Amino acid sequence: MRLAAAIPHGKARLTLLLLALATDSLVRARAVRPVGAVARPRIDIGQSWPLGRVAFSLLPLSGSDRRKTLQTEVVRERVWTHDQIQGIVNVNVPVRQTVIRLREGGLWVHNPVAPSGECIRQMRQLEAKYGPVKHIVLGTLGLEHKALAGPFSKSFPEATVWVQPGQWSFPLPLPLSTFGFPVNSERLRVLPPSGSSDEPSWATSGEIEYETLGPLRFKAVGAFGETAFFHRDTKTLIVTDSVVEVRDDPPAIIEEDPRALLFHARNDIGDEVANTPETRQRGWRRICLFGLTFFPSGIDVTLKSCLADLSRRPRTMEVLSGDVPLGLYPWRWARDERPSFEALRGGLLCAPILQELILNRFPEETLQWATRVAKWKFTRIIPCHFSNDIRASPAQWLAAFEFLRSPARELGKWRATAAPQPHILEGIASPADAFVKLLVGLGVSKPLKQPAALEADLRLLSAASDLCTKAGLVEPVSPAN
């Protein structure tokens, strides 16, 4: 009333009153908004990839609309990575391509990501400095990489495209050209066995060596395969899915849009969370557990009430839904996730789904491949998912596959093992690894605990393994000799 009395003119009085009311409403709205709340990020030019939903069978996958690309220079002027996100129901993890500058000039690309405008601009900048993309390599049979490599190759029509042997499709055996790969047989080639006379030029020169696992064919349909690459000049091992490393902090590409982290940081759909480092770390721990074990032991499923529970969701939390249909949250965290997360930390980890459903059916082939890879003197590993630029030795690499030697494999159970063990270090040329072998063998040093999911977190994967075996879809579990 004092403000109104101080204004002599009617129109001016009305204008200032409306302004005061609007300001008051804005202040009140901000007062009830949680500290650090997030907004839906805008989609900048070049950050979308319309083909995304079609490429991934119309599933509600993250990154189908907004697909940010983050470039990292891992080794100065030699090795770069480009991270995007992939995931379902907000269980988002990085998907990563690696780019290497070849000695003779030009670029070599491993497992391309989606060719969004932003990604291609970054690649053009590298080409302007270091030469054109000469080789594109698909070193896996995984759909999430195959669906991106073909479209990516269209942006670099002069590059030779190399693919992992054993490519397959379901339900029909479709040619690779269906997935966007070149039709020209001179441009599209299958990686030959390493050491053969028709190896790629980058392999015969000794610049980038490779070892191929598989294809490991399933009894019903499909196969698993992966090729590991070693860049000799930078002592870098490049892999797809075989190993990952779990760290406390979320990768930059996940934290860039923290909505998925906050979505999973809630214990219940009725919770209201703030965008703080601690909250984001909690969300990341839970994303890791969902992404690696599929059914964490800390949750109670609430399917029967999930639709009704939507009425309890605070309006400030609606923006967190992302690509989750209706924003459903059909579980609640009833138990602390930290013990389960800590079990996955501490070194290289072979993903539980590979351990429970695939590699335990082919232990001899896998161990022979891992041993061949371990002969390279690498000091870093770049996988396609989770942490980037992992500092690791051949001994640590081999330790990630030690589970295949465990007698517990006969029961199809996943057990924590000690690593590195003396026998798995045989033949390793690294002086540091030899020193570790000596200390462990003499009993001076205790072997490090290898990361291993808790048995309680593997209920779903173990049940799936038993079901697939009984249905005749896969071979029975077979422990290594």
Render pLDDT for 222-269 as a digit per residue (tens, 0 to 9). Answer: 899 999 999 999 999 999 999 999 999 999 999 999 999 999 999 999
Closest CA to 332 of 261, 265, 258, 249: 265
Note the pLDDT of residue 33: 43
Note the pLDDT of residue 29: 38
Note the pLDDT of residue 231: 98
Report d(CA 91, CA 62) in Å as an integer: 8
Report d(CA 262, CA 327) in Å as an integer: 13
CA 30-34-37 angle, to 5 degrees, is 95
Note the pLDDT of residue 290: 97
User: Residue 157 corresponds to which tokens in the numbers above?
Assistant: 């029509």
Note the pLDDT of residue 438: 56
Q: Which amino acid type is present at position 169? A: S
Cα distances (angstroms) measured from residue 88 to each of 54, 92, 290, 324: 15, 7, 10, 8
Report d(CA 431, CA 426) in Å as an integer: 12
Cβ pair 413, 446 in contact under 8 A: no
The values of phi and psi at residue 338, to 5°, are: -65, -40
DSSP state of 229: E
Cβ pair 401, 366 in contact under 8 A: yes
Query: Which H, E and C letters describe 107-124, residue by residue?
Result: EEEECCCCCCHHHHHHHH
| Beta bridge mates, 346 | none
Note the pLDDT of residue 172: 84
User: Residue 301 corresponds to which tokens in the numbers above?
Assistant: 């499923």
Closest CA to 93 of 381, 304, 387, 297: 387
Report d(CA 459, CA 30) in Å as an integer: 44
Report d(CA 340, CA 331) in Å as an integer: 17
Residue reference for tokens 């949750």: 299
Three-state DSSP class for residue 117? helix
Report d(CA 438, CA 380) in Å as an integer: 23
Note the pLDDT of residue 324: 87
Residue ranges in the chain modelled with pLDDT below 70: 1-37, 51-64, 406-449, 479-481
Report d(CA 162, CA 139) in Å as an integer: 8
Other C-beta atoms closer than 10 Å to the C-beta of 272 total: 15
Give yes or no for a cis peptide into 420 (omega within 30° of 0): yes
Note the pLDDT of residue 127: 98
CA 131-132-136 angle, to 5 degrees, is 130
> Positive or negative, the Cα torsion across 135, 140, 144, 146?
positive
User: Residue 265 corresponds to which tokens in the numbers above?
Assistant: 């940081």
Which residues lie closer than 8 Å to 326 by C-beta, 6 or more apart? 307, 310
Name the CA radius of gyration of the chain, rounded.
25
